[in-house]
Amino acid sequence: MTASTELARAEALYETGRYAQAGELVARHLAGEPEDAEALVLLARCHHRAGDRAAALAAVDQALRAEPELLGGWLMRVHILLADRRFQEAEATARHSVALAPNHWGTHYALGTALAEHGEATGTRARTVEAYEVARTAVNLAPEEDAAHFLVGLTAQRRGDHATAQRAYEATLRLNPQSSEAHNNLSLLRLRRRWFRRGAWTQAAEGFVASAALDLHDRKARYNLEAMAWNTAAGARWVALLGFLASGVARIVIPDGAGWADAAVPLLVGGAVVLGAWTGWAVWMARRVPPGCAGRCSWWPATAGPCCAWPGPSASSASTRSPRSSCGPPVRAW
């Protein structure tokens, strides 16, 4: 097997999720060519996916010693450092990658991601603002890249600019309708307006359903859907309160010792009010819950509020992280 064939096979194994086997092939290749920088980066990717960040960082650093201007190596280094929550180093590495390739959208995306993560971890608003500007640069360089639009949306959402965030998430979904993270975060924005815009609640529910269906292993969308279901079910308490008040009024209106003739009208009116309230609530909910959502909403709900998603399988939470709460590095999957 030639070296190129061996690496092509390793890449194919990596793409199918067989990281250990891919790593073994790359290691076999490196035994004969220890300074092959591209192969070392692939080995770093395999180690990273296998959860061995120390080995991944060692491999990518070896690749960069062999080829100091290998852009893929610097971007992979950012990814590993963010996963290890070494934000300062990740930011410095990303800035170096921008210096190497200022016209490549991926370097600006990596820097924006590092700044967003670092700003979230330290509560530094200035980094969030810079991350937004850097993300916009990435979009200008590559308007066809959905990840760049997503990063604009995420950083705008963190700044409180929900109109810009919504436009960015909608652009993401136009480019990539399968983006579960964009569905999730756009639904969060729509949920904010559920009391002011007709249909916003239903659109939000549909978005959470789509997000959960697109990524069955992502707990963020499911969590948000459960929280939404819980809040919906909790709304029934107001109907129950109305029934309690109706019974209290009936006790006041109907005197003690009253016969059926005296009590019939208040009881029937009260019963009609309670029955009408429950029927109205049931019809209202049936119209709000979109098709396909009812089954998912039967899960046992979580107790906290919805969370916001990061892009890529490297995310681990809602998103979510704040605006969703703080989940994992938003670097795109390698």
What would the pLDDT profile of 121-165 be if each residue is shown by its tens digit?
A: 999 999 999 999 999 999 999 999 999 999 999 999 999 999 999
Residue 232 in any domain: the answer is: yes
Which range has the worst mean pLDDT, 43-52, 71-80, 250-259, 308-317?
A: 308-317
CA distance 295 to 183: 19
The helix/strand/coil state of 326 is strand
Within 10 Å of residue 281's Cβ, how many Cβ atoms?
Answer: 16
Domain total in the chain: 1
Residue 154 lies in a domain: no
Rounded to 5 degrees, what angle do the CA atoms 69, 60, 98 make? 40
271 located within any domain: yes
- Joined together, the tokens standing for residue 3 give 């070296």
Residue 26 lies in a domain: no
- Does some domain include residue 53? no
Tokens of 73: 């190596």
Collect all residues with Cβ–Cβ distance below 8 Å to 20 and sequence separation of at least 6: 46, 50
The whole-angstrom separation of Cα 329 and Cα 334 is: 13
**Is 118 part of a structural domain of the chain?**
no
Q: Which range is least confidently modeled, 58-67, 92-101, 249-258, 306-315?
A: 306-315
Mean pLDDT of 285-311: 45
3 state SS of 160: coil
In this structure, is residue 138 part of a structural domain? no
- Whether residue 236 is contained in a domain is answered as yes
Could you list the residue range(s) of the whole structural domain that residue 215 is in? 178-334
User: What digits encode the pLDDT tens for the residues 56-101?
Assistant: 999 999 999 999 999 999 999 999 999 999 999 999 999 999 999 9
pLDDT at residue number 79: 96
